[in-house]
């Protein structure tokens, strides 16, 4: 899957109403996501700005906590909840995606994509 790039959170939300980013910036910032030890994932993939620091979010609602039910949604990368938004996986188990990324502990966006590859293939 070639990642889809949306220039803003609003453009992403319009295209993915079932898996939106919260409209409120504070609500976006508290989503349970992957931040590579709060340093951010380095963008080594073209599209969002070479070398940019990104977060990986699980939409809707963030990555499920252990006591929460799993959800199906999208995995995206953004500049800390702001545009542009890069869709890395669509309609996948958010728990499975979280576990795969957590297991890989990626520092680079290309490594996030590699961790998600088996999940995207399984859900295709």
Q: How many domains does the chain have?
A: 1
Distance CA 18, CA 93 (A): 14
pLDDT value, residue 48 = 47
Provide the residue-wise pLDDT of the chain in tens; the chain has 124 residues.
677 899 999 999 999 999 999 988 899 888 999 998 878 898 888 554 557 789 999 999 999 999 999 999 999 999 888 888 999 999 999 999 999 999 999 999 999 999 999 987 765 5
Distance CA 61, CA 124 (A): 22
Q: What range defines the domain where residue 96 resides?
A: 4-123
Q: Please count the residues of the chain.
A: 124
pLDDT value, residue 1 = 63
The partner residues of 105 in beta bridges, in order of sequence, read: none
Distance CA 60, CA 8 (A): 17
pTM: 0.91
């Amino acid at each position: 899957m070639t990642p889809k790039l949306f220039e803003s959170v609003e453009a992403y939300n319009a295209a993915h109403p079932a898996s939106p980013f919260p409209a409120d910036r504070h609500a976006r910032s508290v989503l349970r996501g992957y931040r590579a030890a709060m340093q951010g994932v380095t963008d080594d993939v073209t599209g969002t700005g070479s070398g940019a620091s990104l977060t990986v979010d699980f939409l809707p609602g963030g990555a499920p906590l252990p006591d929460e039910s799993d959800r199906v949604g999208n995995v995206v990368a953004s500049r800390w909840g702001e545009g542009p938004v890069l869709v890395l996986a669509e309609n996948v188990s958010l728990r499975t995606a979280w576990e795969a990324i957590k297991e890989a502990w990626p520092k680079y966006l290309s490594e996030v994509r590699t961790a998600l590859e088996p999940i995207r293939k399984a859900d295709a």
